[in-house]
Amino acid sequence: MSKLVPLFFVALAVVAVAALALRPGTVVGISDQALATSIARSADTAAGGCHHRRSTWFCTDGDSRMYRATVGDYGCWEAVAVTENGKVASLEPVSGCVILPDVLGLGD
């Protein structure tokens, strides 16, 4: 029994590291910059910035396009391009998930 306790903690640590690496948004939350970096990566442009109101995020990318994004479970998101007035400009959404390099700021 005493040999199982250290194995339990090792297994718990492995699960925590895997969760952080695969879906860091679930573990540490989604920051404005992490979401902006993730959207820019998916849109193949430089990162801009994001801010959120209630459950909706508003983001810009490096090409000055604006997006309205919703973030779901596990740090995954979907964004549509919007005009300055907040009206949908494109029905082709971009989507993705915040990954560890986004959280660490390595995607810029």
Grade residue 3 by pLDDT with cuts at 50, 70 and 90.
confident
Task: Please give the tally of structural domains in the chain.
Answer: 1
Mean pLDDT of the chain: 80
Higher pLDDT, 68 or 73: 68
Q: What is the pLDDT of residue 16?
A: 65
Q: What is the pLDDT of residues 20-36, one digit of tens each?
A: 556 656 666 788 888 88
Residue 51 domain boundaries: 4-104
The pLDDT > 90 percentage for the chain reads 14
Give a three-class secondary structure readout of the chain.
CCCHHHHHHHHHHHHHHHHHHHCHHHHHCCCHHHHHHHHHHHHCCCEEEEEEECCEEEEEECCCCEEEEEECHHHEEEEEEECCCCCECCCCCEEEECCHHHHHCCCC
Model confidence, pTM: 0.72
